[in-house]
């Protein structure tokens, strides 16, 4: 689902062939426009080398590739520090609108801002490289000596219904992260220094300030959006907890309080669709077993990827370049460790887009492919923008595109593709379909919100290093109604068992994307002329919807995100009402099912 995006517009991560000394040279006679042009030219010189070093590190985890990635990281951090320092002199200068936008984006920095101190930059690069490598090579060996990597452990959580087996796998993966807990603490210290050097209070202030509004305003905006959808999540949580109690017994899953974290079919309890068999409202109505169809029909990794591409091209968007299939990694190699976490990469300004994903033949992975290709098509559509504008309108836009396409993978679409049999119409079929999707889309929302709530509090010092794990579980219970199934202490580092923590990928983007994708879906369905319930709409093969989507993608981040939102939806704000509209039938059904239950935790 979620991918670490390597986009050319991340100017802070571009390398300069001129080196630190050259870029630090004073350019007193330079105008803001000339500065932006120079920075883009210098960054482009070694951009491809930087991306290649990171790609090789992710697809060949060895001590040698760690050195290459670390050195490339050091140079990019030096370039970043120099670039931001120089850009500050233009804050109050007169300039045209486009140049002002470019300066603003440069001054935002990155998720790992580079301190002005060279030794700290070297240390920061080493920490980020080491943490990601340790996560990518992690495995758990049980008492019987059977060792399994993350993908295999995830399969157990998805398929097993044995309480003790699930518990063993859940706690086993969390043995991977304690070794880099101290490194993460040091990353926070160095990152906060970098943020201060950029003119921010700390990393939380910098991250929150990347949304074309003041940090405080953005924090309130994200809380407002969560408040719009929380009542629906509460109903879903109540219903699922009841079904789990019936399955495992009230002594293991009481009908009051939080849900044990290992029982929801996912390593991090972030999506619950793998326990659809437990939560299915109407048994056997409208089979939605896409995975069996993929396996029975002999789909392989390439055919899965081609199927995802075909949705985008049906909208009138371009075919993927030949280099995509030549250079992407869509199958886990047998001979080496790799970072299997799915991600999309823009290696050469839209000329060499690729994905890294250890594709498995199942429905979840098919959906993930659509997600990752959403990033790829964003790259392709804004490739002609200046480098500084190559990015999503904000980071949530980039994450929302592929997931918007997923919403059009309706039963009618899946039948057309031969992935389900005869579709069953009617109320019970609708509730089943919506339940399966809600277990993915609605269950994710509080998880998407709480990860950066934890990091913001860590960065600001509200959660001290000695309370990392306690703070993590406090927020998991507050937002998700989830609890650890066994005692956790500060010897653990459970936040670090999620890729985006050691990988240092901000996570609020995913929360926002899960709100916006429904807005986008509604707008595209309107453009397609669809009439009927929103959950029945598919824009597959509709060129009018495809043009509207493509035109917004081509804007990149050349304009503040409310303008991109206006172009896409006809209004400038993020809004959760489309979710409530989409899931209206299920929301009403859940309220009836839960009327005699003690909901909440």
Alpha-carbon torsion angle 385, 390, 395, 398, nearest 10? 70
Token representation of residue 234: 């509460």
Q: Three-class SS of residue 564?
A: helix
- Catalytic residue status for 499: no
Instruction: Tell me the sheet residues that pair with 354.
Output: 345
Q: Would you tell me how many other CB atoms lie within 10 Å of the CB of residue 175?
A: 15
Which are the contacts of 445, defined by CB distance < 8 A and separation ≥ 6?
A: 226, 229, 233, 511, 514, 515
295-303: long-range contacts, CB 8 A cutoff, minimum separation 24: 295/361, 295/362, 297/418, 299/361, 300/361, 301/330, 301/331, 301/359, 301/361, 302/330
Which among 259, 279, 278, 257 has a CA at the least distance from the CA of 269?
259
**Size of the chain in residues:** 601
Dihedral over Cα of 97, 98, 101, 103: its sign: negative
- Catalytic residue status for 262: no
Alpha-carbon torsion angle 333, 51, 362, 415, nearest 10? -140
Selecting among 510, 528, 540, 545, the annotated active-site residue is 510
Selecting among 123, 149, 235, 372, the annotated active-site residue is 372
Got the DSSP string for 227-259? HHHHHHHHHHHHHHHHHHHHHH-TTTS-SSSPE
| Nearest-5° Cα angle at 508, 491 to 360 | 80
Selecting among 309, 399, 453, 477, the annotated active-site residue is 399
Token representation of residue 101: 């936008």
Rounded CA separation 90/80 (Å): 16
- Catalytic residue status for 220: no
CA distances from 90 to 24, 83, 93, 245 (A): 15, 12, 5, 61
- The backbone region for 146, taken as left when phi is positive above 0, alpha when psi lies in -120 to 50, beta otherwise, is beta
Selecting among 126, 342, 484, 528, the annotated active-site residue is 342
Selecting among 371, 394, 398, 521, the annotated active-site residue is 371
Token representation of residue 335: 């001979």
Rounded CA separation 312/318 (Å): 8
- Catalytic residue status for 342: yes
Selecting among 398, 500, 521, 535, the annotated active-site residue is 500
- Catalytic residue status for 371: yes
Selecting among 341, 370, 521, 535, the annotated active-site residue is 341
| Nearest-5° Cα angle at 250, 249 to 254 | 135
Which among 568, 563, 566 has a CA at the least distance from the CA of 524?
568
- Catalytic residue status for 293: no
- Catalytic residue status for 398: no
Q: Which residues are catalytic?
A: 341-342, 371-372, 375, 399, 500, 510
């Amino acid at each position: 689902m979620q991918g670490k995006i390597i986009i050319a517009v991340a100017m802070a991560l571009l390398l300069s062939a001129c080196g630190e000394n050259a870029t630090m040279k004073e350019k007193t006679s330079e105008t803001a426009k000339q500065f932006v042009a120079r920075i883009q030219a210098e960054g482009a010189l070694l951009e491809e080398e930087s991306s290649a070093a990171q790609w090789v590190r992710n697809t060949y985890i060895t001590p040698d590739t760690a050195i290459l990635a670390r050195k490339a990281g050091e140079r990019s951090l030096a370039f970043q520090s120099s670039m931001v320092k120089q850009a500050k002199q233009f804050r109050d200068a007169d300039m045209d609108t486009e140049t002002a936008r470019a300066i603003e984006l440069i001054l935002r920095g990155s998720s790992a801002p580079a301190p002005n101190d060279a030794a700290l930059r070297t240390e920061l690069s080493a920490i980020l490289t080491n943490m990601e490598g340790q996560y990518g090579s992690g495995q758990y060996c049980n008492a019987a000596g059977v060792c399994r990597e993350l993908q295999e452990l995830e399969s157990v959580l998805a398929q097993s219904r044995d309480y003790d087996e699930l518990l063993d796998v859940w706690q086993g993966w969390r043995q991977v992260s304690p070794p880099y807990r101290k490194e993460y603490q040091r990353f926070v210290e160095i990152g906060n220094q970098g943020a201060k050097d950029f003119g921010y209070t700390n990393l939380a202030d910098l991250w929150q300030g990347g949304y074309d509004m003041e940090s405080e305003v953005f924090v309130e905006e994200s809380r407002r959006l969560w408040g719009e959808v929380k009542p629906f999540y509460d109903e879903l949580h109540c219903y699922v907890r009841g079904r789990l109690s019936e399955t495992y017994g009230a002594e293991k899953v009481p009908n009051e309080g939080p849900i044990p974290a290992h029982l929801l079919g996912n390593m991090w309890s972030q999506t619950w669709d793998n326990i659809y068999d437990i939560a299915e409202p109407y048994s056997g109505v409208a089979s939605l077993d896409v995975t069996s169809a993929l396996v029975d029909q002999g789909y392989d990794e390439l055919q899965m990827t081609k199927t995802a591409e075909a949705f985008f091209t049906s909208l009138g968007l371009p075919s993927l370049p030949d280099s995509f299939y030549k250079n992407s990694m869509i199958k886990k190699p047998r001979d080496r460790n790799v970072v299997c976490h799915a991600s999309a990469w823009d290696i050469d300004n839209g000329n060499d887009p690729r994905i890294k994903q250890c594709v498995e033949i199942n429905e979840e992975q098919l959906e993930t492919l659509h997600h990752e290709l959403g990033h790829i098509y964003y790259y392709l559509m804004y490739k002609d923008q200046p480098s500084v504008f190559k990015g999503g309108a904000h980071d949530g836009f980039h994450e929302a595109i592929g997931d918007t396409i997923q919403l059009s993978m309706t039963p009618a679409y899946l039948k057309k593709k031969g992935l389900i049999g005869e579709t069953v119409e009617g109320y019970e079929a609708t509730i089943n379909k919506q339940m399966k999707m809600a277990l993915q889309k609605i269950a994710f929302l509080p998880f998407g919100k709480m990860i950066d709530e934890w990091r913001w509090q860590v960065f600001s010092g509200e959660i001290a290093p000695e309370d990392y794990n306690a703070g993590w579980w406090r927020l998991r219970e507050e937002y998700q109604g989830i609890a650890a199934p066994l005692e956790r202490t500060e010897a653990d580092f459970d936040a670090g068992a999620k890729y985006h923590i050691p990988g240092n990928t901000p996570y609020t983007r995913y929360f926002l994307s899960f709100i916006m994708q429904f807005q986008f879906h509604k707008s595209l369905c309107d453009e397609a002329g669809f009439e009927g319930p929103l959950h029945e709409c598919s824009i597959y093969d509709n060129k009018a919807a495809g043009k509207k989507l493509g035109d917004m993608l081509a804007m990149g981040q050349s304009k503040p995100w409310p303008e991109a939102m206006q172009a896409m939806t006809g209004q400038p704000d993020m809004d959760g009402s489309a979710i409530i509209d989409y899931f209206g039938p299920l929301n009403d059904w859940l309220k009836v099912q839960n009327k005699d239950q003690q909901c909440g935790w």
